[in-house]
Amino acid sequence: MVSQIYDGIKTKSTLEKFSPIIKKGFNQFITERVNEKLSAALNTSVETKTIDESEELSENTPNDGIITTPEELEAFTVFKVASKDFIDPSRLYYRDTKSYFGILIDDNNRKWVFRFYQKATKNLIEIRDAGTFEIDTTIDIALYQNEIKQAIENHK
């Protein structure tokens, strides 16, 4: 390898001078090749995923202006945890509408037990047969466990 870059006599001291340079060159070459392969693999999978998501959105989601927010999904999760002692969580479903995020028993519109309203300045929850309450965060839903229990018992 040294003979390709050095025309002089190859002595031990010459080899020692070139050894770290050659090692560094090999390491850089290998690192660059690995990075190229990883980048190519990541770009391919990201492009494929993006295409799949856009196809899925255009085929399965009607353009009705309803957007389920992470905060609404968090409210659903907190509700499920708060009600797990009263009902099997697999019986709970959510439906998002333009005006509220609702939680239903057995995916039945007549068996709604909870609604979450996101306003510009405040968040409200409505528990069936118990009333409407203002909350600061979705975690506050757990504070209404007794009301949730009563609503579930009345509409199982």
CA-nearest of 141, 128, 131 to 72 is 141
d(CA 63, CA 53): 15
The SS3 of residue 136 is: coil
Flag the least confident range among 14-23, 56-65, 104-113: 56-65
Report whether pLDDT(96) > 80. yes
- Residue range 67-95: mean pLDDT, rounded: 91
pTM of the model: 0.59
Give the pLDDT of residue 156: 82
Give the pLDDT of residue 50: 45
Flag the least confident range among 1-15, 16-30, 133-147: 1-15
Confidence label for 8 from pLDDT (cuts 50, 70 and 90): confident
d(CA 63, CA 76): 23
Confidence label for 9 from pLDDT (cuts 50, 70 and 90): confident
Give the pLDDT of residue 117: 95
CA atoms within 13 A on the CB side of 114: 29
